[in-house]
Amino acid sequence: MSVHQAEISWKRAPHNLEPETYSRNHSVTLNGGQVLDVSASLDFKGEGHCADPEQMLVSALSSCHMLFFLAIADHQGYCVESYEDDPKGHLEKHEKGGMAVTRIELSPKVVFSGEKQPDAATLDRIHHMAHKNCFIRNSLIASVDITPR
């Protein structure tokens, strides 16, 4: 249906704090031309000023959920004024002993404007539909919990 690609580029350089090892810093170029500075997470000798793959996974899920939420709300006649989330992904050991992002928590805060305002049940239904249809969510085995704020 569609293909999504990026370019990953890494060159050997010494680690900033541990010169006996290599830098985990690299760049990701998206097909829109945006260049992201990426590294391992701090727990794995990365640098804090860079995004890490786990953050990008968590933010991709949150972004995908939001985009479906906005589309569904708009289709149902609701006007979303703002949408905020502070998603959290948990890197943990999984049942086979390796590490994985095993669960992700979304906590969206949505503000609506206009006369048509959703009640709590409608808001939950829109989130459920967004969750069910999100492409990123459907690509993951991690559990995803949504707790609107």
pLDDT reported for residue 27 = 96
- What whole-number distance in Å separates Cα of residue 78 and Cα of residue 98? 43
Assigned token pair, 140: 């993951």
Domains of the chain and CATH, by start: 6-44 (no CATH), 53-146 (3.30.300.20)
∠ CA 43-45-48, nearest 5°, is 75
pLDDT reported for residue 117 = 97
User: Once rounded to an integer, what is the mean pLDDT over residues 25-41?
Assistant: 95
Model confidence at 133: pLDDT above 90:
yes
* Backbone torsions φ then ψ of 81, nearest 5 degrees: -85, -40
User: Once rounded to an integer, what is the mean pLDDT over residues 7-25?
Assistant: 92
Q: What is the pLDDT of residues 94-131, one digit of tens each?
A: 888 999 999 999 999 999 999 999 999 999 999 999 99
pTM: 0.91
Mean of the per-residue pLDDT values for the chain?
94
> How does residue 19 score in pLDDT terms, banded at 50, 70 and 90?
confident
Q: What is the pLDDT of residues 55-80, one digit of tens each?
A: 999 999 999 999 999 999 999 999 99
